[in-house]
């Protein structure tokens, strides 16, 4: 039993266009010195932490609005989120990063945040 695999010309052209878009988004050259590697890794980690922090804040607001938290739990959650935000500011300063740099470009899908 043989399978005949054909791809329509339009599909091939669309695929090539998508690959070219992705290639344009990638840097032409990678500068892999130790300082850039450290900052790049810090940027990636802090971006993920920032994403999780924002998700936690949204979930906390939903729970507060839903009335499922006591006053003590609301206070504790607020303090925890404030500490996390302050630590993020401190780490951004250490690595010389700005808020707008903490994002990931997902190519055709756009930015993460």
* 88: exposed, middle or buried (Cβ count in 10 Å: 0-12, 13-18, 19+): middle
Can you give the pLDDT at residue 11?
A: 72
| DSSP-derived secondary structure letter, 28 | S
Can you give the pLDDT at residue 99?
A: 86
pLDDT per position as a tens digit, 7-58:
455 677 777 777 777 666 666 666 667 667 888 888 888 988 888 888 888 9
Whole-number Å distance between alpha carbons of 40 and 56: 24
Residue 1 pLDDT greater than 50, yes or no: no
pTM of the model: 0.60
Whole-number Å distance between alpha carbons of 3 and 12: 19
User: Comparing C-alpha atoms, which of 93, 96, 100 is closest to residue 40?
Assistant: 96
| pLDDT confidence tier of residue 76, bands split at 50, 70 and 90 | very high
Higher pLDDT, 73 or 38: 73
Q: Count CA atoms closer than 13 A to 111's CA, side-chain side.
A: 7
Region 1-8 average pLDDT: 49
| pLDDT confidence tier of residue 87, bands split at 50, 70 and 90 | very high
């Amino acid at each position: 039993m043989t399978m005949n695999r054909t791809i329509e010309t339009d599909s091939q052209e669309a695929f090539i266009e998508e690959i070219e878009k992705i290639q344009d988004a990638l840097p032409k050259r990678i500068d892999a010195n130790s300082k850039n590697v450290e900052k790049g890794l810090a940027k990636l980690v802090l971006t993920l932490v920032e994403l999780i922090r924002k998700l936690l804040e949204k979930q906390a607001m939903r729970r507060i609005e839903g009335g499922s938290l006591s006053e003590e739990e609301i206070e504790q959650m607020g303090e925890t989120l404030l500490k996390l935000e302050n630590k993020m500011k401190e780490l951004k300063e250490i690595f010389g990063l700005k808020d707008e740099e903490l994002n990931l470009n997902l190519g055709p899908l756009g930015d993460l945040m």
